[in-house]
Amino acid sequence: MSHDNSSPSFFQHHFHDVEQQYETSKFGMWAFILTEVLTFAGLFVAYIVYRSWYPDMFVGVHKLLDVNKGLLNTVVLITSSLTMALAIWAIQKNLKKLSIFMLTATFVFALAFLGVKYQEYHHKYEVGQLPGKYYSYMGPEVVEVIKDQEKIDYYTSSNNVYFDAETNRLYKTMNNPHIFFSIYFVMTGLHGLHVAIGMGLIAWLIYSTARGNIHQKYYTPMEMIGIFWHLVDLIWIYLFPLFYLIG
């Protein structure tokens, strides 16, 4: 029985044995993952509804996002998922130094992800591709300069475009592009928040593993934070094609 003096220090008395303690933690973690999926589900539903209302606008406006930066972040996040899995593998094999190295690599990749994300956000802020009422972008993708009088007459009479005679600029009206950016910023923003929280948890893991609180016999926190970190990767796997690779 497990209530004698020989039970390990990490064992909590209300569990039957160490194995049950581990399985219970894991079940609890998956219940948390369920709530996480449902949190993001609301935002995915918003995306689906608005995309079905404005299919052309989504296809047009997504071109304002940088596919290369999105792909770079995908590669960075998958790599960080691999290093996180390897950190758990290393601690299972009692390779403490390798485990700490892999956790540090995961932390660095997470930082790189947020760095790329910051660059993207900063660019969007500069040009005014912002959510809701803050959207003010009128760049080359939505504006054309027209000199031909015949075309000007045609466009002036057309319903889908607006020609400004004073500036000689043609506005192609994409309907409600700010809605795309509202959804983009909320979804990637909440995902980015998860990356930041994950970084804090990984930093704590590095500290605990170095101090010897997490070891071959007891690595439950690392396994659980690993599951959280892979969920962050999993959500990005869907966000990437939905925002960067439309049509």
Contact positions with another protein (CB under 8 A) in 84-143:
84-86, 89, 92-93, 128, 132-138
Would you count residue 173 as binding another protein (CB under 8 A)?
yes
Query: CA 153 to CA 45: how far, in whole Å?
Result: 42
Would you say 188 and 239 are in contact if contact means Cβ atoms under 8 Å apart?
A: yes
Stretch that binds another protein, among 104-112, 184-192, 197-205, 215-223 (CB under 8 A): 215-223
Would you say 59 and 75 are in contact if contact means Cβ atoms under 8 Å apart?
A: no
Would you count residue 231 as binding another protein (CB under 8 A)?
yes
The amino acid that residue 232 corresponds to is: V
Can you tell me which of 179, 206, 222, 225 binds another protein, judged by CB under 8 A?
179
Query: CA 6 to CA 34: how far, in whole Å?
Result: 36
Cβ-based nearer residue to another protein, 137 or 204: 137
Would you say 3 and 13 are in contact if contact means Cβ atoms under 8 Å apart?
A: yes
Give the footprint of another protein on residues 22-61 (CB under 8 A). 22-23, 26-27, 30-31, 33-34, 37-38, 41-42, 44-45, 48-49, 52-54
E strand residue ranges, the chain = 143-145, 161-164, 169-172
Minimum CB separation from another protein for residue 206, in Å? 19
